[in-house]
Amino acid sequence: MGYTNYWYQSKSFTDKEWKKVKDEYDYIKEICEGIVVDQTKNSDEIVFNGNTIGNLDHETFVLAKNPRTEKSYEGENLSFNFCKTAEKPYDIAVWHLLFFTKKNTKALSEISRDR
């Protein structure tokens, strides 16, 4: 299975909260240059993975401004999210962003990791 980060998002970020999170992500990209590879395609998501050079990527991290609304299967908890990083170097960027987001917004109700 591998090392995993978990979070619960049951509400949307406010515009002010989302700006704060996006600003922190910009800082992470700067500090983790060469480790984090940005894959974000729209302004309502933050998407990144580890660098494919040296096999430092694993599962793509996605944080959305709005929580998921469509179930894939009956009984699915739409607030539950996870990202398997296998403790590769980009894991610290995933955890930092989750911790920052939990501390500075009301959108995430819980964060945890396999540590």
Decide: 49 and 90 in contact? Cβ < 8 Å: yes
Distances (CA, A) of 76 to 6, 64, 79, 80, 100: 15, 18, 9, 9, 26
Helix or strand run (H / E) with residue 17: helix 15-31
pLDDT tens string 38-82:
999 999 999 999 999 999 999 999 999 999 988 999 999 999 999
Give the closest residue to 64 by CA, choosing from 2, 9, 103.
9
Q: How many domains does the chain have?
A: 1
Measured CA to CA, the distance from residue 35 to residue 59 in angstroms comes to 14
Say whether pLDDT at 1 is over 80.
Answer: no
Range(s) of the domain holding residue 83? 4-68+77-113
Predicted TM-score (pTM) of the model is 0.94
Please give the pLDDT value at position 67: 96
Condensed to tens digits (0 to 9), the pLDDT of residues 22-50 reads 999 999 999 999 999 999 999 999 999 99
